Structure 1
Amino acid sequence: MTQETLNNQTLPQLPASVTKPGYNRTAVTPGIVHLGTGAFHRAHQARYTEEVLENGESDWGIIGSSLRSPTVRDQLAPQNYLYSLVEKSNDGEQIRVIGCLRDLHVAPESPRALLDALTREEIRIVSLTITEKGYCHDPATGNLNLNHPDIRHDLANPQAPKSALGFIVYALRERKEKGLPGFTLLSCDNLPNNGRLLRQMVSEFARAVDADLAEWVEENTSCPCTMIDRIVPATTDADRDALENALGVRDNAAVMAEPFTQWVVEDNFVRGRPAWEKAGATFVEDVEPYELIKLRLLNGCHSLLAYSGYLAGFETVADVMAEPAFAALAKQFLASEASNAVKIPEGFDLEKYRQQLLERFSNRALRHRTWQIAMDGSQKIPQRWLGTLHHQLDNGGAIDLLTFALACWIRYVGAVDDAGKAIEVSDPLAKELKALCDKHRDNPRELAGVFLQFTPVFGDDLQHNQRLQQALATWLTSLDKHGVLNGVRMQMETTEA
């Protein structure tokens, strides 16, 4: 293996088949600071921005940041912030080197450096991929959790914040004091109404600092809602080794992605924006219909396949889809329960979208691990399944596949798969959920009931629904008796009959 790495010096020697930046990187000035420069941002928003720079808009370079770990900075800095985006499909792969990142700050090492970046006059957009946990809100009330350790720290330490909210609000305070304009806050997290959530959290944090500041923030910022979609699995050492063979140099910051990408954005920017539409983004007045289609079809089906497939011993989603019964399950879920719970925007081809999803899930080159998708289920399934479940219950619709999905999730957090092997459950509520399983494992009816009473996930409006409890208990009983794969096969045979 060569010891050379991807950087400005080795870039020209890459194979001709690799797409390289066609613009002058030294002429690019930053217009965006991104909080949370992980793999998804580099495969999605940065890819759209790269296309903007290729089209001649040189004032939209990105300054990245990490709010926790130096890992990404340590990968990118020796490479002059260049990295490869590898789009993988069953037909092969395409490699593109991305050059829009100009710098990357690690917040715990130097909070001041990140604040300085956020207060640069030319910064007009601050974008975020910080996951739901990064918004420090209380899901039960929808308000900012003022007792969150990071929020308490930040209110007491304005020069050294830890949270994204702290950095944003204190940077805006400095901009106000210096007579600088505000900026657009662009959430790119997979959350419903993400812009409105971000607006509320920023406003509440600013109000806790200073009422006048909160008013200024309200008048000088905007928070568009967005819907983002691209499958970006974790990059493995095997991925990096294969890429090194293709490039002739080592790229420790490479990201893998599927060819499909979608970005729907509410067109509400206070100081202009890149022409991302030229790179394929869709600008609309209302993101919500697109958001619900993605959450309830793509994310809902992804989680369904992840929990059921993992329990049945399948490592990747493509492996799950290679089993005919699971492929039929996915097709039926998308066409029935999930599609029944969405409104279709004018001009949107739902049938084509469903077919694209089945093809994406079957992408063998991606190796998107079921265990990875199954992470943090207690945070994800309220958005991915429960909205659909409420719609179906309210309208007398079918809930067979939704309750099957919930039963699989309950089995998963019980931490034992169908083969009797222990599961390493990655979830912030893992201990509480496993305790419920351990206590009620031998009584499916009780198990269904206590889970529906677990308000951090289900709220308080499903626990008395007898139809739901009975359907969930029936599936838990079936999974105990037959296992997941046989349960799916029997369900599909019943449906076909």
Structure 2
Amino acid sequence: MKKKFQMPNPTIHILQFGTGNFLRAFFEPMVQNLNEKDIPLNICIIQSTGGNTLEKLSAQNFQYHVCVAGIRNGTEVQEIQKITCVKDGMSLPEDREKFMGFASQSEVKWIVSNVTEAGMVWKEEGPQEKFAESFAGRITQWLIKRFNQLPEAETIILPCELIPKNGDLLKEFVVKHAQNWNQSADFFSWLDQNVFFFNNLVDRIVPGFPNQMDLKEKENDPLLVQTEPYSFWAIEGKKSQSHLLPFLKADVEVILEEDIQAYSLRKIRILNGCHTYMAAKGMVLGFQTVGEFVANGENLSALNTMVEKEIIPFLGMNADDLRIYKEEIFARFANPFVAHRLEDIMLNATAKFKSRILPMMTSFHEKNNGLYPEEITKGLVYLILFYLKNPQRVKDTSEVRGIFEQIPTEFSTKEKLQWVTNNLFGLAWSPTLDKAYQEISSE
């Protein structure tokens, strides 16, 4: 029997879906900062994927350290922050009763998530009585119970997945699940009035455990996580809703704006798009970290070409402002304190490519007589080649792995590439793809 992760009678205010490095180095430091300002908020952290992070957290009383290292205002900084605001934890689906129990606790007000692009997807569910398999399905069941047991309570939902309009998308999924489960008109009215789904953009580079740094905390804290000084959170909403968001009072940059689409698109397409491209190419060519990748002149030139010619012209924003943003991003990539492992970025790389870069391929294709952008196309070929050549190192969903397992074994490498681009990414083989494959094969 699995161990139940809980502490005696903690008062929980926030349910956090995601035990990974990112939220632990982005969101928890903000909550810790608020606690130090006498704004008490406690987190229950939820693990819904494989791994042993929750078990490790429980063994440490849910406490760990964050190392902030990099350049802030032109000065090198290296700071350690102890995180004590996580007070409880659970694993789903094992702890589903505990999870559903929080729906009737009025102190629980916020739900924060980072289930990645692979987790923020639509999935048909069974009957309402059966605990849902998908994130959106579980949120829907939780909200239905809250409506029935605590209808006067407000719930603020802050999805941090790197998807444009992530709050709107999650609400769309919740409404669809609720319709499938034949909820009353009163439930949908309550959903509109008492549940606030905010669109979010989060931005912080979190490389994970600082193997390369000499820190005494490494000896006793296997969950020590390193991050950069830069931290930015844009929340889309009305200024009148600021009372719902205590995170705006944190010492890092958290903003509430009526439209964050520009912030979201530039970050997802440029910063995260570059990460996905670098990881795919770098893993095939033998680079280990983002820093190593951008220290190579040829790689940096290719990255710059991709952003300048294949991304910036298709974002519909001021090109000069985007170039300034690009230079800031490139400087963050070269942070000498950061060893951001490409293999970590490759987690669920298929969904990341589809949400971050594939839209640029289709936009370019529509405006350039059926051609695809050369560098982005190379990134796609590198990604598929890594999956084909390193199946034991692939960290992706069972659905994606299943598609690769369906490839006829008698196919040549090129035929396998053609098969995957069509069946997984919905792209027909083209002269641009063929050229990319030929150039990569000759490297």
Q: CA deviation at 1:477?
A: 1.2
In the other structure, the counterpart of 2:90 is 105
Give 1:96's aligned amino acid: Q
In the other structure, the counterpart of 2:99 is 114
Is the Cα–Cα contact under 8 Å of residues 448 and 469 in structure 1 kept in the other structure?
no
Q: CA deviation at 1:128?
A: 1.2
In the other structure, the counterpart of 2:203 is 229
Does 1:332 pair with 2:305? yes
In the other structure, the counterpart of 1:85 is 66
Q: Residue by residue, what CA displacement relative to the aligned partner does 1:386-414 show, whole Å, maximum 9, x if unpaired?
A: 11112222223871212222222232222
Does 1:316 pair with 2:292? no
SS of structure 1 residue aligned to 2:425: helix
Q: TM-score, normalised by structure 2?
A: 0.84
Give 2:220's aligned amino acid: R
Does 1:427 pair with 2:396? yes
Is the Cα–Cα contact under 8 Å of residues 196 and 224 in structure 1 kept in the other structure?
yes
Give 2:296's aligned amino acid: E
Is the Cα–Cα contact under 8 Å of residues 120 and 161 in structure 2 kept in the other structure?
no
In the other structure, the counterpart of 2:3 is none
Give 1:391's aligned amino acid: S
Q: CA deviation at 1:438?
A: 5.5
Is the Cα–Cα contact under 8 Å of residues 290 and 342 in structure 2 kept in the other structure?
yes
Is the Cα–Cα contact under 8 Å of residues 49 and 274 in structure 1 kept in the other structure?
no
In the other structure, the counterpart of 1:259 is 229
In the other structure, the counterpart of 1:478 is 439
| CA–CA distance in structure 1, aligned partners of residues 244 and 379 of structure 2 | 43
In the other structure, the counterpart of 2:143 is 172
Which of structures 1 and 2 has the bigger CA Rg? 1
Alignment of 1:356-371 (within 5 A): 356-371=328-343
Give 2:53's aligned amino acid: V
In the other structure, the counterpart of 1:457 is 425
Give 1:210's aligned amino acid: N
Q: CA deviation at 1:88?
A: 2.9
Alignment of 1:141-290 (within 5 A): 145-146=123-124, 151-152=125-126, 155-157=128-130, 163-178=134-149, 179-212=151-184, 213-235=187-209, 238=211, 242-243=214-215, 245-246=216-217, 250-267=220-237, 272-276=244-248, 278=250, 279-290=252-263
Is the Cα–Cα contact under 8 Å of residues 135 and 201 in structure 1 kept in the other structure?
no
Does 1:401 pair with 2:371? no
| CA–CA distance in structure 1, aligned partners of residues 242 and 139 of structure 2 | 16
Q: Residue by residue, what CA displacement relative to the aligned partner does 1:60-107 show, whole Å, maximum 9, x if unpaired?
A: 332222234583333333434322111233856321112222222333
Query: How many residues are aligned here?
Result: 421
Q: CA RMSD in A?
A: 3.1
Q: CA deviation at 1:437?
A: 8.6
| CA–CA distance in structure 2, aligned partners of residues 423 and 209 of structure 1 | 39
Give 1:56's aligned amino acid: D
In the other structure, the counterpart of 2:347 is 375
| CA–CA distance in structure 2, aligned partners of residues 336 and 111 of structure 1 | 48
Q: CA deviation at 1:434?
A: 6.5
SS of structure 1 residue aligned to 2:88: strand
Q: Give 5+ residue unaligned stretches, structure 1.
A: 1-27, 138-144, 417-421, 484-497
| CA–CA distance in structure 2, aligned partners of residues 431 and 207 of structure 1 | 31
Give 2:117's aligned amino acid: E
Give 1:129's aligned amino acid: N
In the other structure, the counterpart of 2:19 is 37
Q: 1:107 to 1:371 in 2, by over 3 A?
A: closer
SS of structure 1 residue aligned to 2:202: strand
Is the Cα–Cα contact under 8 Å of residues 124 and 182 in structure 1 kept in the other structure?
yes
Q: 1:92 to 1:470 in 2, by over 3 A?
A: same
Q: CA deviation at 1:476?
A: 0.5
Give 2:257's aligned amino acid: V
Q: CA deviation at 1:242?
A: 4.7
In the other structure, the counterpart of 1:16 is none
Q: 1:106 to 1:134 in 2, by over 3 A?
A: same
Q: TM-score, normalised by structure 1?
A: 0.76
SS of structure 2 residue aligned to 1:44: helix
Alignment of 1:7-26 (within 5 A): none
Match of 1:299 among 263, 272, 285: 272
